[in-house]
């Protein structure tokens, strides 16, 4: 078991190392899109727990109806996303995994890793970099069309 302070320190070190590895992989000026998608209700994110790591494209809103509606629009592009990402992600309309908090999501998952154990960090960081790049590239390819479709229905 870790104390609250130890866990906070390990978590901070984990994310700092990911930031360093990302910059090393892509160049100094690289930053992930994450919440800066330019589309209200859609975000890219990293999720980590004591047994799973996720790279997620998530539909979020306080309204269940709006979340599902955004997800349905996004799902129209499932083939494009799978082709650009070079492998199909998991589509989860109900955000069934605990880490997804009930939000409709498209994600890649790495099981059996614990970010509090440093021996898993390389595996998790490599997974994050590879799969966020895939998901981000797929999102950026369809972003303009998504933006128009979502705006039309609001």
7-38 confidence digits (pLDDT tens): 999 999 999 999 999 988 887 667 788 888 88
Give percent above pLDDT 90 in the chain.
77
Angle between the N-to-C axes of helices 64-75 and 121-153, in degrees from 0 to 180, rounded to the nearest 10: 100
Residue 117 has pLDDT above 90, yes or no: yes
Two structure tokens written together for 51: 């047994």
Distance CA 104, CA 97 (A): 10
Query: Cβ distance 105 to 62 under 8 Å?
Result: no
Query: Cβ distance 18 to 128 under 8 Å?
Result: yes
Going by C-alpha positions, the residue among 77, 58, 55 that lies closest to residue 130 is 55
pLDDT at 4: 93
pLDDT at 28: 65
pLDDT confidence of 83, banded at 50, 70, 90? Answer: very high
Residue 118 has pLDDT above 90, yes or no: yes
Buried b (16+ CB within 10 A) or exposed e, 103-126: bbbbbbbbeebbbbeeebbeebbe
pTM above 0.85, yes or no: yes
Among the ranges given (3-7, 21-25, 133-137, 149-153), the one the predictor scored with the smallest mean pLDDT: 149-153
């Amino acid at each position: 078991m870790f104390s609250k302070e130890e866990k906070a320190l390990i978590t901070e070190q984990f994310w700092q190392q990911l930031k360093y590895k990302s910059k090393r992989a892509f160049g100094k000026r690289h930053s992930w899109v994450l919440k800066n998608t330019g589309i209200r209700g859609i975000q890219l994110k990293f999720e980590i727990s004591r047994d799973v790591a996720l790279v997620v494209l998530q539909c979020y809103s306080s309204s269940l109806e709006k979340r599902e509606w955004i997800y349905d629009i996004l799902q129209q592009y499932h083939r494009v996303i799978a082709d650009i990402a070079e492998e199909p992600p998991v589509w989860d309309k109900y955000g069934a995994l605990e880490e997804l908090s009930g939000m409709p999501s498209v994600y890649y998952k790495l099981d059996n890793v614990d970010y509090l154990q440093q021996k898993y960090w390389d595996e998790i960081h490599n997974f994050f970099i590879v799969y966020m790049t895939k998901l981000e590239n797929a999102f950026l390819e369809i972003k303009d069309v998504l933006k128009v479709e979502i705006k039309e229905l609001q």
